[in-house]
Amino acid sequence: MEHNKTHEIVVVSVPVLSHQLQIAELCKRFLQLQPNLHITFILPIISSLPKPSKTVLDALSSLNIDSIVLPPVNLPQPTPPPAMLFPLAMSHSLPSIQDALTSLTTSSSSKKVVALVADYFAYEILPFSKKLNILSYIFLPTAASLLQLCFKSSKLHETITCEFKDLKEPIKLPGCVPIHGRDLPNALQDRSSQVYTHFLLRCKGLLLADGILVNSFKELEPDLMKAMAEEGANNNGSSECLAWLDSQKDGSVLYVSFGSGGTISEKQIRELAMGLEMSSQKFLWVLREPNEIPSANYFKDSSCNDPRSFLPCGFLERTKGQGLVVPHWAPQVEVLAHRATGGFLTHCGWFSTVESIVQGVPIIAWPLFSEQRTIAVILGDGMRVAIRAKVDEESGVVGKDEIADAVKSLMVGNEGMEIRERMRVLKDEAAAAIKEDGSSTVTLFQLLAKWTT
């Protein structure tokens, strides 16, 4: 039975000995605190397993920690510079890491994977762990002050246009000692470099984690720890999109997401982008790599580090004050519950539909496949809490004008106001259903009573 299974932690390291040593010590600490845990250590390699790394694995084996050494990666030629070697190695190892993680989670063994701990350079595995419904954590083997730098990197990139080393004044981050630009990590010393781009991607990737483990302690960096705790409380979490929503007016933002696996074509992405821009309404868009098959993401993980590259030229710059585009994933429950969210453009998956109703958020119905068209009809014609996005029969695409009209109608039009009132009623009914004497609670209690008597 499932409840008798041993809890398993999967740890993903990188082809760097110093990182391997630190995360191996973390594994030992896990077992000291909880001896009944089982740990599987996944190790990517570049060409072959170095002798020092084998020593690390042998030491872990003596503690009954299993290891999976992945196949060597085929790096692009000529060999990338040292600063890009490990980021590229981890990107090329991603399919093998996914295969190993899938195997561990789908096996019929006596173990159940309950969490993933990935090295900072292995951040690309986080969206995949979300799809497997596994709690995921990043291990950052450096000072907590560097974590603060990671969290603030996007803002620094947007607000500072010169090279950091050319700044006359030091950079001041909450809880950190002022740092001159020339003393920032090497990855930030050349804004035109591939290393710099990858650093920003890794920093954004951290926002997908359920938590971050840092090799520090409160008494070592007290000001920093206090500042980060306060920021977390003020922002309702560290997610960039939640922090952005905090700065928006109540009910002003349209949340755009096609679920955990839905995809739209590249042409449709362009039309949607132009329609959102034309609507002049605030938006938060979870964007994934395009695909002609609407359900593509249910069967494979995205191979694109930043799907924003598929947006129309200049779109991000033109809509900088209007919207936020988040790659791959956002904390949907928190987004829908946020006071600033006033509408939801959704694929009409039932999970998303119920989450929207529970929060009283009106809907633009954009079904993609499966039963979603049926649900769109129920929402639009039955409950009358949704506007249906109309597909052009000739092109098979929802055009930008149709999108702009639907968005404006929902967010600021009379039809949207009427839908919002009907949604408020459904929200109240949903809340009543789960009270102690509510219909859902009573029905579930009756079922449990039948099982146990």
Q: What is the C-alpha to C-alpha distance for residues 406 and 77, in angstroms, rounded to an integer?
A: 49
DSSP calls for 172-220: --TTS--B-GGGS-GGGS-TTSHHHHHHHHHHHHGGG-SEEEES--TTT
Q: What is the C-alpha to C-alpha distance for residues 431 and 357, in angstroms, rounded to an integer?
A: 10
Which one from 3, 7, 92, 119 is the annotated catalytic residue? Answer: 119
Which one from 3, 7, 19, 157 is the annotated catalytic residue? Answer: 19
Query: How many beta carbons lie within 10 A of that of residue 159, not counting itself?
Result: 8
- Coil, helix or strand for 45? coil
Q: What is the C-alpha to C-alpha distance for residues 193 and 205, in angstroms, rounded to an integer?
A: 19
Are 148 and 228 in contact, with CB atoms under 8 Å apart?
yes
**What is the longest distance spanned by two Cα atoms in the chain?**
76
Strand partners, 11: 41, 117
Which segments of 107-143 does DSSP mark as H helices, in order? 126-131
Q: What is the DSSP letter of 370?
A: T
Angle at 47 (CA atoms; ends 43, 53), nearest 5 degrees: 45
Are 187 and 198 in contact, with CB atoms under 8 Å apart?
yes
Q: What is the C-alpha to C-alpha distance for residues 376 and 21, in angstroms, rounded to an integer?
A: 52
Q: Is the peptide bond before 52 cis (omega within 30 degrees of 0)?
A: no
Are 325 and 308 in contact, with CB atoms under 8 Å apart?
yes
Burial 6-28 (b: 16+ CB within 10 A, else e): eebbbbbbbbbeebbbbbbebbe
The torsion of the CA quartet 53, 56, 61, 63, rounded to 10 degrees, works out to -160
Element (H, E) at 387: strand 386-388
Mark whether 119 is an active-site residue.
yes
Distances (CA, A) of 26 to 44, 118, 210: 18, 12, 18
Residue 76, sorted as left (phi over 0), alpha (psi -120 to 50) or beta, turns out to be beta
Phi/psi at 356 (5° precision): -70, -45
Mark whether 338 is an active-site residue.
no
- Coil, helix or strand for 293? coil
Query: How many beta carbons lie within 10 A of that of residue 156, not counting itself?
Result: 17
Residues annotated as part of the active site: 19, 119
